[in-house]
Structure 1
Amino acid sequence: MIIRFGYVAHALSLWEATPAKTMTFSRYKKLKEEERIPELQRITRLNLQHTLRAIHYNIAHEIPLYRFSSALVPLATHKEVEWDYITPFKELYAEIGKLVKKHQLRTSFHPNQFTLFTSDKTHVTENAVKDMEYHYALLKAMGLHHESHINLHIGGAYGDKEAALERFHENLKQLPNPIKKQMTLENDDKTYTTTETLEVCEKEGIPMVFDYHHYMANHTAEEDLAELLPRFYETWAGYRFPPKVHLSSPKSEEAYRSHADHVDETFVTPFLKVVKQTEQPIDVMIEAKEKDRALLKLVEDLAAQRGVKRLKGGELDF
């Protein structure tokens, strides 16, 4: 079973390379009017340059998956700040996309928890659509809008999960179809279980991202991995890439839902053994505080197991 790995946004092994430098609206307002756009452009250019550095690092270390930072563009969706964050950086976006395609990397975005479609408040849904449009615009500028995904959680339950799910399906109609086509949904660690997320994905025709840590923190006694995995795989039928999984491990028993700095090999191995029985290749996004360092350590730890072979820097035959 082939497993490919990736990490989130910031390659910690690189010096001063965060792709998520930002500017608050308060700071923006304090600047002279003629300084505002140039400063937004400066920060955005730096974030994109750091993203390029990460892409080159991934290529050199044979890391095939990468999640772009959602904070590439400061104040991109702020209602009082409207600026062109595409045109001045067309060459940078194109360079990123060209590298991704040339080296067949798998990229994605994961907007924050405030981008959701279960709210009964109109402005929340409007903001969610606006945020998804922002992420899609970046992918389109990179030429990756047909292959990269934007991953979301279903959202809150607000005391009535059934009503919230009905709102999700209704509110999602406001999302333009080309953007919806690039959307994935992930099971969460408190509210929507794997089964519930699968049901939504199956109804909407949206691929599911399976988070094993979330499953362990939030599953029912009736849920069985061996039974759920085929349904999860089926949501990816017809797509270019294998089904996608998120892996992390608990920071502690007390802080079970929090992500540890690294991924505990003993925590994830039982899951990988279940997947191995299905003989289905998977792509894995590491969600650990140590990011690329955690990825490389986990690959090394797993490769030391009997019968596991490391094929590339970020790829195993498990």
Structure 2
Amino acid sequence: MNLGYACINMTLAAQSDKITTNRGMIKRTFLDKGLDYAGSLALLNVKDLQKIIDWNVKNKITFFRVSSDVFPWASHYDLDSLPQYDKIKSVLSEIAKYVKKYNIRLTFHPGPYNVLTSPNDSVVKNTINDLKHHAEICDLLKLSFSTFNKINIHCNGVYGDKKSAMDRFCLNFETLPESVKTRLTIENDDKASMYSVKDLMYIYEKIGIPIVFDFHHHKFCDGGLSEKEALDLAVSTWPKSIRPVVHYSESKSAHESNPLIKPQAHSDYIKHLPETYGHELDIMIEAKAKELAITPFLK
């Protein structure tokens, strides 16, 4: 079992020379300053990604989710059009060597605007472009063409007919390049009207895409399954050669005894690790305190 955290290292971000991979800008600034400024921020971001991964290894963390914001406004340009592209590529190549040396598992989780279930062609087109962007970063990092380095998304829309929406997901999946298809996973939702693990099995049975089980989400959208039953199903969708990834978080509302906070909201820390029911899992801890939340549980 490996424990991981997502995107931001709170320890390094608190330093005077703030280390972060999320440098960005508003759209007006991007339009004013253009590719040169976007490239300069991206170069700083990838250099800091290298520092974060180095910190992780020194602290016995070999599972990490890379931010989707490394390249500001990436949907508006090709990466190789950035003036700093060669330097960026060189840094990512060095990270790739480090990742291979220490067997680091890097994963991605593009945002909720990625909707392969959408009936809107422009939404699907934008989704495909964003997924291709994430796959390009995977390729620059020389990551495997497998769900060991997953690109994880939600279905993100029912549109009044869940089965039809899932059928659209499957049809749109077939249009994706292999660099995306081989890495893509789907995750259960935290609203009863959305997609449970039981629902997502329909997609798995059609296109073979693994399911990432989210323990916290399951509490709000269980599809009539117990936690163990849902986890067992999700694990069964993964290739036997790849350790399944699950997500774990706890309720901020429960932690703070505050009913005004949405129960789905994630707490800063976690009180315990989830029951794995005998499965070997890599557990992504989705707590707001990031690496600080998992440090007490590292062996």
Same fold (TM over 0.5): yes
Aligned-pair distance for 1:227? 2.7
User: Contact 1:48–1:92 at 8 Å: present in 2 too?
Assistant: yes
SS of 2:24's equivalent in the other structure is coil
Aligned-pair distance for 1:86? 4.5
Equivalents in 2 of 1:102, 1:170: separation in Å?
A: 38
Q: Using a 3 Å threshold, how does the CA distance of structure 1 residues 199 and 86 change in structure 2: closer, same or farther?
A: farther
SS of 2:252's equivalent in the other structure is coil
SS of 2:35's equivalent in the other structure is helix
Equivalents in 1 of 2:55, 2:102: separation in Å?
A: 12
Aligned-pair distance for 1:206? 1.1
Equivalence for 1:151:
152
Equivalents in 2 of 1:103, 1:45: separation in Å?
A: 23
* 1:251 counterpart letter in structure 2: K
Correspondent of 2:235 among 213, 233, 248: 233
Equivalence for 1:306:
none
- Structure 1 gap ranges (5+): 300-313
Q: Percent identity?
A: 30
Correspondent of 1:201 among 201, 204, 214: 204
Equivalents in 2 of 1:207, 1:165: separation in Å?
A: 14
Equivalence for 1:167:
168
Aligned-pair distance for 1:81? 10
Equivalents in 2 of 1:93, 1:178: separation in Å?
A: 17
User: Contact 1:154–1:168 at 8 Å: present in 2 too?
Assistant: yes
Equivalents in 1 of 2:31, 2:229: separation in Å?
A: 54
Correspondent of 2:216 among 188, 213, 217: 213
Equivalents in 2 of 1:100, 1:43: separation in Å?
A: 23
- Structure 2 gap ranges (5+): none
Q: Using a 3 Å threshold, how does the CA distance of structure 1 residues 49 and 37 change in structure 2: closer, same or farther?
A: same
Describe the superposition over 1:186-229 as per-residue Cα deviations: whole angstroms up to 9, x where unpaired.
11111101211233123211111110000012114x31233333
Q: How does 1:119-130 map to 2 (within 5 A)?
A: 119-130=118-129
Equivalents in 1 of 2:28, 2:77: separation in Å?
A: 14
Equivalents in 2 of 1:160, 1:202: separation in Å?
A: 19
Q: How does 1:186-197 map to 2 (within 5 A)?
A: 186-190=187-191, 191-197=194-200
Correspondent of 2:81 among 75, 80, 83: 83
2:20 pairs with 1:18: yes
- Of the structure 1 ranges 284-293 and 227-236, higher mean CA displacement relative to structure 2 is found in 227-236
Equivalence for 1:264:
271
Equivalence for 2:97:
98
User: Contact 1:118–1:165 at 8 Å: present in 2 too?
Assistant: yes
User: Contact 1:246–1:286 at 8 Å: present in 2 too?
Assistant: yes
When the two structures are aligned, how many residues end up with a matched partner? Answer: 284
Aligned-pair distance for 1:173? 2.0
Equivalence for 1:286:
285
CA-atom RMSD in angstroms:
2.0
Describe the superposition over 1:268-315 as per-residue Cα deviations: whole angstroms up to 9, x where unpaired.
5xx41xx24xx3211000111100001113x1xxxxxxxxxxxxxx35
Equivalents in 1 of 2:103, 2:79: separation in Å?
A: 35
Describe the superposition over 1:15-73 as per-residue Cα deviations: whole angstroms up to 9, x where unpaired.
21121111222112233xxxx22211210011111111110011000012000011000
Aligned-pair distance for 1:230? 2.9
Equivalence for 1:245:
246
SS of 2:185's equivalent in the other structure is strand
Equivalence for 1:44:
42
SS of 2:75's equivalent in the other structure is coil
User: Contact 1:76–1:83 at 8 Å: present in 2 too?
Assistant: no
TM-score, L = length of structure 1:
0.84
Equivalents in 1 of 2:182, 2:58: separation in Å?
A: 31
Aligned-pair distance for 1:145? 4.0
Equivalents in 2 of 1:284, 1:83: separation in Å?
A: 36
Q: Using a 3 Å threshold, how does the CA distance of structure 1 residues 79 and 94 change in structure 2: closer, same or farther?
A: closer
TM-score, L = length of structure 2:
0.89
